[in-house]
A = this chain, B = another copy of it.
Amino acid sequence: MPKPGGSRRAELLSLAARLFAERGFVSTTVRDIADAAGILSGSLYHHFDSKESMADEILTGFLDELFGTYAEIVAAGHGPRETLEAVVTASFDSIHRRPAEVAIYQNEAKHLMQLPRFAYLVDRNAEFRKLWNGILTDGVGAGVFRQDLDVELVYRFIRDTVWVAVRWYNPDGALTSDAVAKQYLGILLDGIGTKSG
C-alpha cells in the first residue's frame, strides 16, 4: 500500500474521481476504474484498500484545499460584501479546477456521510454553514444586506446555486468561472428586475 506521493496513486485517484463524478459512486465499479487505468481490478488493491478509501482520499484532499482557501479569505478581514464576493468567486473557481471532486461532494456526500469513516463530512458541512451564514448575518447587521432577509433561506439559496453549477459548468468552455461568479453576484446583490419592473 504505497502511501506517499506516488504519482501512480494520484493518476488512479484522478481517474476514479472522474468516473465517480460521471456515473456516481455506487454505479462506478472498481473494474470501471481499473479498465480506465488499463489494469485489472484486483491490481487496484495494491494502491488502495477499498473503493471507499478512494472516495475518502478524494474528498479529504478536496475539502482541505477548499477550506484552506476559505480560511485565507476570512483571514483577509474584508467586509461582508467583499467576503461574500470572495467566497462565491473562490467556490466557482474550485468548480473550475476540481469539477470531479465538487460533483462527488455534491452528489455523494449525503449518502457517504452516513458511514462512520465519512463523519468528517458532517463537520465540514457545519463549518461551511457557519462561515456562509456568518457572512450574511454580519452583512445584515452592517446594513449592507437587506434587513428583511431570512438569512438561513438565503444561505441555502446561495449555497445551492453556486455548487449545483458544477452540473453545467464547462472548464474548457469560453465562459470563465470568474465571469460566472460576476454574473451571479450581480443578480444576487441587485436582482434581475429593473427599477421600473
Contact = CB atoms under 8 A, between A and B. Distances in A.
Interface in A23-37: 23-24, 26-27
Contact of A111 (B27, B111, B143, B189): B27
Interface in A130-156: 143-150, 153-154, 156
Interface residues of A, number: 41
Copies of the polypeptide in the assembly = 4
A146 B193 contact: yes
A96 B145 CA distance: 28
Contact of A27 (B26, B145, B184, B196): B26
A183 interface: yes
A124 interface: no
Interface in A166-197: 167-168, 175, 180, 183-184, 186-194, 196-197
Contacts of A161: 157, 160-161, 164
A188 B197 CA distance: 12
A145 B192 contact: yes
A193 B145 contact: yes
A138 B171 CA distance: 30
A165 interface: yes
A160 B156 contact: no
